[in-house]
Structure 1
Amino acid sequence: METVKVGQFNTLRVNRKVEFGFYLEDGAEGILLPKRFAPNHLNIDDEIEVFVYHDSDNRLIATTQKPKAIVGEIAKMKVVSVTKQGAFLDWGLMKDLFVPASKQVSGMRLGGEYLVMLYIDEMTGRVAATEKVENLMSNEELTVKEMESVDLLVYRTSELGYVMIINNKHIGILHGNEVFQQLEIGDKVKGFVKKIRPDNKIDLILGKPGYTKVEDESAKIIRLLNENNGYLPYNDKSDPTDIYAFFGMSKKSFKMTTGNLYKQKKIQFTQTGIQLIEQ
């Protein structure tokens, strides 16, 4: 069988049942799935997806609990205890996640929330975390291209806007003048690659590329019109802040979307707003 991957989800076969749980096949003595985490009616030879990590006694253990992140992923987590050796974070499992002092940027405080990336410690083989995330990202060999949809994580703010982590691999910039929603450090959002510069620096945009985004926002405007008796008091003369507060989109997107709907003869413009055309 394949080697069990620590710090990740594995699909394993139930090898045997004991009073305190089930042992799952790992090619050796088996990995314990405690009874409290086993689903009802689990039987020998069944296959089950579990998360595998080390317990406090350095034994591999399986759980059906869902951690806040797996190895290779980045997430914001809260510090639950601090020692001279490092800090411990709540990552959604029975055992807390360790961040060595050497992997912290400026020292973690109790109760604070920090962005960390999970990795396997080479010395112990255990899952650990590091706050020094940006050093692990690289734009030397890109795995994305322009107009490609990507997963984004808000890493930090900058003079230009937001520094974003792309697919847990690369760094990009989301320019502040193109952001029309509230963002906080640690937020996970969808976006796409707007431009890749000659030095492999990446410019990003939230949402979906091209007319797919317009079609999505078209559906939103039609729905809002239906919910408001076919009329909304907004047009290209409306204040951008008012448009964003009601529709959740920029004035540029609003004008592009309503123009598309007008061409499709789904709405008409009035002196004070937009009117739904009955089909």
Structure 2
Amino acid sequence: MAVIGRMNSLQIVKHTDFGLYLDGGAEGEILLPKRYIPTDIETEVDDWLNVFIYLDSDDKLIATTEKPKVQVGEFASLKVVDINRVGLFLNWGLPKDLLLPHSEEKRPLQVGDYCVVHVFLDKRSKRITATARLDRYLDRAPATYTVGQEVDLLVADATDMGFKAIINGKHWGLIHKNELFKFVRSGMQEKGFIKELRADGKISLSLQPVGQEAASSLSEQILAALREKGGSLPLSDKSSPEAITALFRTSKGNFKKAIGGLYKQGLIVIHDDRIELATK
């Protein structure tokens, strides 16, 4: 059975001059227009093809071998390309733009803006639809993450505390301002790490590894940089976050922990304006 709004593996049932018909199960035969027929593989009756199913401009089911930027059940940042009385239209990589109804807007948008949306199937119309009201699609499953776990993040909204981000397409998390050691904006996809699982169910995130593994890695980077620069670096625990980030791509807090650990081991000396390799 064909699933609307998702990639499907469907069987060819017949050839025509204008395309192939595929077995859509309960949805009936679905046309794959000639322009989308692969030219690098055989396409005989009973062969299987991977296709995306959606409604064309006449609201008829149609197949394409092109893969959109987002499928039903997923989140993505998409560009607004048109607006009319019905809603906003988003570029999702297919000829027919994706509708974001005005009722599903979260904030006013203009043509050219990007918006993080969730894509769902309107059960009554069978239309693939976008919504910017994300809360209803997140945090519905129990969080089973562990501190330090690497996750996929889609950065969403800026807040007074930092940036909200979608974790693995399932949960909300927050990247606090003190973790923002590099430029971040809504719509960016990043690798991140679980920093804290709070008692209230909220999840704190980091854009860099956390825990002992992260500290060891950063310490090794600092020692290597010191050896490369002749034993001295113009950074210390009083340096600006920007100067530290420029050299080590890490937060000031993590840098201070790393050099503090190296100092305790007797490997470096910390001055107000620099750090140096310790002399034996």
- Classify the TM-score, shorter chain: 0.7 to 0.9
TM-score of the two chains, using structure 2 as the length reference = 0.79
**Which residue is 1:38 aligned to?**
37
Tell me, what secondary structure is at the counterpart of 1:163?
strand
Gaps of 5+ in 2: none
Q: May I ask how many residue pairs the two structures share in their alignment? A: 268
Cα-to-partner distance string for 1:129-169 (whole Å, 9 max, x where unaligned): 11111343236x42332323322222212221112222222
**Which residue is 1:143 aligned to?**
143
Cα-to-partner distance string for 1:26-80 (whole Å, 9 max, x where unaligned): 2364222222222214321433322221111222222222212111222222222
Give the Cα separation in 2 of the matches to 1:16 and 1:270: 77
Give the Cα separation in 2 of the matches to 1:260 and 1:97: 52
TM-score of the two chains, using structure 1 as the length reference = 0.79
Provide the alpha-carbon RMSD of the alignment.
Answer: 3.3
Structure 1 position 224, deviation (Å): 7.3
Cα-to-partner distance string for 1:235-256 (whole Å, 9 max, x where unaligned): 5468342221123222444466
Cα pair 2:226 2:233 within 8 Å, conserved: no
Give the Cα separation in 1 of the matches to 2:137 and 2:144: 17
Cα pair 1:174 1:204 within 8 Å, conserved: yes
Cα-to-partner distance string for 1:210-262 (whole Å, 9 max, x where unaligned): 35545766787799799x68878455468342221123222444466679999
Identical amino acids, percent of aligned pairs: 37
Give the Cα separation in 2 of the matches to 1:160 and 1:47: 50
Cα pair 1:235 1:274 within 8 Å, conserved: no
**Which residue is 1:10 aligned to?**
8
**Which residue is 1:123 aligned to?**
124
Counterparts of 1:177-216 in structure 2, within 5 Å, are 177-213=178-214
Give the Cα separation in 2 of the matches to 1:225 and 1:95: 56
Counterparts of 1:84-233 in structure 2, within 5 Å, are 84-138=85-139, 141-147=141-147, 148-213=149-214, 233=233
Give the Cα separation in 2 of the matches to 1:36 and 1:218: 56
Tell me, what secondary structure is at the counterpart of 1:177?
helix
Tell me, what secondary structure is at the counterpart of 2:209?
coil
Tell me, what secondary structure is at the counterpart of 1:241?
helix
Structure 1 position 22, deviation (Å): 2.2
